[in-house]
């Protein structure tokens, strides 16, 4: 028997679903599909975000720079992520020292400016 709390959650999120739907099981593929849709086009937590709901991605080489207090401490971390992500996306990426040459600019702030 389904506990009341589960059913309440189903009701609370406004889904008209049967008991069977509420307990239905989703495969790993379906889970990734839900996840991908939400991170590409917006999920429940993004309803307030006023940006176009369309696929966006890079089409050319990334030139990344990092600057700001302590930037040197995080350069390796950023480089590692860039390597991983470019392997996954087949993009090219490089690190540049001059922010003016970069199209992916990372700025560390000391927090005071916010």
Partner 1 sequence: MAPCYARFEDSDGIIQRVDIRIGVTKPAEIEHCLAHELCHAFGLRFHSTAAESVLSSVHGENRPTPADDLALSILYDPRLRPGAEFHEVAKTLEELTSKVTRDFGHHWAAVLPAASRIEILQNADNGYVSRYLRTRYPKKHINVDYAYWRGPRVFRPSAVVVLNTAERGYFIDDLPPLKDAIAKVGWLSRKTLQFGEQGKHKGHHGLLDTVKFRLESLDNTECLGFRQRLMSYPTIGSGSTDLLIGYLCANPGASLDMKIVGGLLQSVKIRGI
Question: Among 48, 50, 53, 100, which residue interacts with partner 1 (rule: CB under 8 A)?
Answer: 53
Query: Closest by alpha carbon to 40, among 27, 56, 21?
Result: 56
Residue 94 backbone phi and psi in degrees, to 5? -145, 165
Least distance from partner 1 to the Cβ atom of residue 67, Å? 11
Binding flags for partner 1, 28-47, as an x/- string (CB under 8 A): xxxxxxxxxxxxxxxxxxx-
**H or E stretch including 94?**
strand 93-95
96 forms part of the interface with partner 1 (CB under 8 A)? no
**Residue carrying the six token digits 């006023």:** 50
Question: Among 19, 61, 89, 92, which residue interacts with partner 1 (rule: CB under 8 A)?
Answer: 89
97 forms part of the interface with partner 1 (CB under 8 A)? no
């Amino acid at each position: 028997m389904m506990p009341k709390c589960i059913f309440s959650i189903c009701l609370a999120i406004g889904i008209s679903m049967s008991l069977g739907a509420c307990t239905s099981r989703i495969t790993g593929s379906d889970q990734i599909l839900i996840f991908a849709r939400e991170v590409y086009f917006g999920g429940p937590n993004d309803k307030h975000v006023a940006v176009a709901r369309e696929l966006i991605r890079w089409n050319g080489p990334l030139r990344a720079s990092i600057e700001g207090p302590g930037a040197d401490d995080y350069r390796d971390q950023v480089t590692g992520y860039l390597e991983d992500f470019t392997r996954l996306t087949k993009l090219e990426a490089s690190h540049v020292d001059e922010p003016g040459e970069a199209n992916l600019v990372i700025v560390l702030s000391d927090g005071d400016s916010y």
